[in-house]
């Protein structure tokens, strides 16, 4: 009788694991092939060879680009090199990237930048906030941008017990920001289990010097985050659920859900078109190719535009898609007056005119 119970339980566990593995393959679009969508005036950006995971463009056309992310389970072509922040002036006829110098006193050797967000103070000072993973931990680094010197002055390292496995950040005030937690566990094997079992234990938190709190939860893997042009709504990408959450920002910084937009692809970072308010999403059309990297069959890239975000039926269109022959593992797309930058987790970056 005891053996029968054990065998029954074992069979049930194996059946559950099997069902979850099948569901995980579906959620990662493991069988999806990319249908190409090309833009006519594009070229790879020279100098960005080891990723361009996140991009934030100032109103004056200066683009900050985070590069060199080392992320568990993801490919990395420069494991011995520290990460960098690059600058690109999109007002130039042929814009080029330039690595920004970082002030002394900051541990550049362990710099591992992930999501980034800029904030312009009342005196027009530009601050850059960077999600950093030194030694695979999570901090938020605050820098002051010195435009004339093309440099970053490190001002502060922000740590908190809720700032764990941080992915992205959107800054809305002096040291006031929302951040996403993309995994509950930090151990790689437990992270895999978490994804396969779809535990939905990740969240969005609000940080200020006076208060830190979870303001939205229940995500499979909360990823990119940004804010609407009128600052009333927060947009959050849930990469494994293949959707974007539209959340209303309350006066006390709490968030309430307005709607969820299903995309059918694994959405990474989000940006907002400054001219239209549309959401641009850097996406992974087949995430299994990210997790199991094969240079002969690399992960593709995809960029979606979401128009009429608050309407009953937002319009979703594919602006760019590639099977990995040009661009592998797109993570972000950002526009500035007819110019489009597409960044990747670990690969190159694309500059397009449209």
**Contact criterion met (CB below 8 Å) for 286 and 294:** no
**Contact criterion met (CB below 8 Å) for 330 and 302:** yes
- The C-alpha atoms of residue 309 and residue 116 are separated, in whole angstroms, by 23
DSSP E strands in 263-329: the ranges are 266-272, 279-284, 301-307, 315-322
In the annotation, is 43 catalytic? no
From the list 193, 270, 188, 272, the residue with the least C-alpha distance to 237 is 270
- The C-alpha atoms of residue 108 and residue 101 are separated, in whole angstroms, by 10
Q: How many CA atoms lie within 13 A of 203 on its CB side?
A: 18
Tell me how far CA of residue 94 lies from CA of 47, 57, 348, 351, in angstroms: 14, 17, 17, 10
Q: Which residue numbers belong to the known binding site? A: 53-54, 116, 167-168, 223, 268-269
Q: Which residue numbers belong to the known binding site for Ca(2+)? A: 53-54, 116, 167-168, 223, 268-269
Q: How many CA atoms lie within 13 A of 80 on its CB side?
A: 0
Beta bridge partners of 63: 57, 88
From the list 80, 159, 156, 71, the residue with the least C-alpha distance to 115 is 71
Q: Please tell me which residue in 43, 114, 124, 154 is annotated as part of the active site.
A: 114
Provide the annotated active-site residues. Answer: 114
């Amino acid at each position: 009788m005891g053996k029968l119970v054990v065998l029954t339980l074992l069979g049930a566990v194996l059946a559950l694991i099997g069902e979850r593995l099948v569901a995980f393959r579906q959620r990662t679009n493991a069988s999806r092939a990319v249908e190409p969508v090309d833009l006519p005036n594009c070229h790879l950006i020279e100098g960005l060879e080891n990723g361009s995971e996140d991009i934030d463009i100032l109103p004056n056309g200066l683009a900050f680009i985070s590069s060199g992310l080392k992320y568990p389970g993801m490919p990395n072509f420069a494991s011995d090199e520290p990460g960098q922040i690059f600058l690109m002036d999109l007002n130039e006829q042929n814009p080029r990237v330039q690595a920004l110098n970082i002030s002394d006193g900051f541990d550049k050797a362990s710099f591992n930048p992930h999501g980034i967000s800029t904030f312009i103070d009342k005196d027009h000072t530009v601050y850059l906030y960077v999600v950093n993973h030194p030694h695979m931990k999570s901090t938020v680094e605050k820098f002051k941008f010195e435009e004339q010197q093309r440099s970053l002055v490190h001002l502060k390292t922000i740590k908190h017990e809720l700032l764990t496995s941080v992915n992205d950040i959107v800054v809305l005030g002096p040291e006031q920001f929302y951040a996403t937690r993309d995994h509950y566990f930090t151990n790689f094997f437990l992270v895999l289990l978490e994804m396969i079992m779809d535990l939905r234990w990740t969240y969005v938190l609000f940080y200020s010097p006076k208060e830190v709190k979870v303001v939205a939860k229940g995500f499979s893997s909360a990823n990119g985050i940004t804010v609407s042009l009128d600052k009333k709504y927060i947009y959050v990408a849930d990469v494994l659920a293949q959707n974007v959450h539209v959340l209303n920002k309350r006066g006390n910084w709490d968030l309430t859900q307005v709607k969820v937009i299903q995309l059918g692809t694994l959405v990474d970072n989000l940006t907002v078109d400054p001219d239209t308010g549309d959401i641009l999403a850097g996406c992974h059309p087949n995430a299994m190719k990210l997790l199991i990297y094969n240079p002969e069959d690399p992960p593709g890239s995809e960029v979606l535009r979401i128009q009429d975000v608050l309407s009953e039926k937002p319009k979703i269109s594919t602006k760019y898609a590639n099977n990995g022959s040009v661009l592998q593992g797109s993570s972000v797309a950002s526009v500035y007056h007819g110019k489009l930058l597409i960044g990747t987790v670990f690969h190159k970056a694309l500059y397009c005119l449209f």
